[in-house]
Amino acid sequence: MEDSYISQRDKIVASAIELIGDLGLHALTPKNLARKQNISDTLIYKYFGGIDEVLIAVVNEYAAFDKNIQRTVERLDGSFLDKIKYYADTYATYYDNYIGMGAIMLHYEELLHMSETREIISECMLMRNDFVCSMFQGAIDSKEIRPVFSPKELTLIFNGIFTEGLLERRNQYSRKSFRVEVKEILGHIEKVLRL
Amino acid sequence: MKILIAEDDVANAKFLSKYLSKFGDVVITPDGIAAVDEFVNALEKGELFELVCLDIMMPKIDGYKVLASIRSAERKHGVSRMLRSKVIMTSALDEASFDSNLASDDYDDYICKPIDIMKFNDMLKKLDIIK
């Protein structure tokens, strides 16, 4: 019944994200998608030109909120460190509750090697990195933190927390939430670096 | 009064649920598809959620798509604009980043998370959900 209110296209994309999260990128095939959706393989082609188009839609979905999150963070009242923490918390909460979406981040390498997704994922990564880097630069310039690490190095650490944290969470589902972990680690880094 | 909270974050869902349970029966759904499912199931039984608190960044389908789906379901079931559910969109995005074009005039109000309970209470009064 609810089927008629949610577009089949949106449901296929949601299933694709779930498939990637559960079984990996290689599992994203028309057959697996059709089985998950309980539809025929041919119906997938009614909405997408092929599995590549499904993957493009998945990657677009992955980056869908990036610009608005960045605009929100930029406008926040507070220090650069507060902004970095808010930014981290927003993504950590989203990935904590949407395991499949978090898994996309762990497939960067593969997505970069696919001609269909290379440009989108590369732009998304660069935009996220530039944003985080600019926030750390702001924190150093305004003397919130000691310049022990360069903004670029801090961005690498920040990204490492996310990728390793997401990977670890996928190994041990029962451990504490990713969101809490990110918050704690950033808190420790802040303690060490704060001026 | 039936209230639907579509919210993937457990802490936020609990917070809203605790507050809103004073005013009616609360149902929580953790993703967009479950929210539409719950809404349509109620509608098919002739029940309408008077209030829907709808998160934007949700798993499976986002809040904008959920909103479009539930409005479409209401229209199909002959629910008039006056009687339709009141929908409050919630998000970690600030108001200026909330893309009201995507939600058109289908939503009734918007509140940024973390939710300021006084502001939320005023919103409920303004929407005539509580006195």
Tens of pLDDT, residue by residue over B16-73, are 999 999 999 999 999 999 999 999 999 999 999 999 999 999 999 999 999 999 999 9
State the nearest Cα–Cα gap between A77 and chain B, in angstroms: 12
CA B30-B35-B39 angle, to 5 degrees, is 150
Q: For residues A60 and A57, what is the distance between their CA atoms, to the nearest angstrom?
A: 5
Classify residue A82 as exposed, middle or buried by CB count within 10 Å of its CB (0-12, 13-18, 19+).
middle
- Structural domains of chain B, ranges and CATH numbers in brackets: 2-126 (3.40.50.2300)
In chain B, what is the greatest distance between 2 CA atoms, to the nearest angstrom? 38
Tens of pLDDT, residue by residue over A30-66, are 999 999 988 898 989 999 999 999 999 999 999 999 9
pLDDT above 70: residue B113? yes
Which one-letter DSSP state was computed for residue B26?
A: E
Tokens of A34: 């059709």
CATH architecture of A63-193: Orthogonal Bundle (1.10)
What is the full DSSP assignment across A4-54? GTS-HHHHHHHHHHHHHHHH-GGG--HHHHHHHHTS-HHHHHHH-SSHHHH
Is the separation of the CB atoms in B69 and B31 below 8 Å?
no
A80-84, B35-39, B94-98: the lowest-pLDDT one: B94-98
Q: For residues B70 and A4, what is the distance between their CA atoms, to the nearest angstrom?
A: 11
Q: For residues B28 and B33, what is the distance between their CA atoms, to the nearest angstrom?
A: 12
Interface residue B33 vs chain A (CB under 8 A): yes
B10, B29, B33, best to mutate vs chain A, most A CBs in 10 Å: B33
pLDDT of residue B104: 75
Across the interface, whether the CB atoms of A68 and B62 are under 8 A apart is answered no
Asked: is A2-60 a CATH 1.10.10.60 domain? The reply is: yes
Considering only residues B103 and A74, tell me which one the structure prediction assigns the higher pLDDT: A74
Q: Which residue of B has its CA nearest to A93?
A: B9
| pLDDT > 70: percent of chain A | 97
CA B43-B48-B50 angle, to 5 degrees, is 155
State the nearest Cα–Cα gap between B121 and chain A, in angstroms: 23
User: CA B90 from chain center: how many Å?
Assistant: 8
Nearest to A71 by CA among B59, B102, B98: B98
Q: How many residues are present in chain B?
A: 131
Q: pLDDT band at residue A175, thresholds of 50, 70 and 90? A: low
Q: Spell out which residues of chain B touch residue A4, defining contact as CB-CB under 8 Å.
A: 76
Q: Which element (helix H / strand E) includes B89?
A: strand B86-91
CA dihedral B35, B38, B41, B45 (to 10 degrees): -130
pLDDT above 90: residue A13? yes
Residue ranges of domains in chain A: 2-60, 63-193
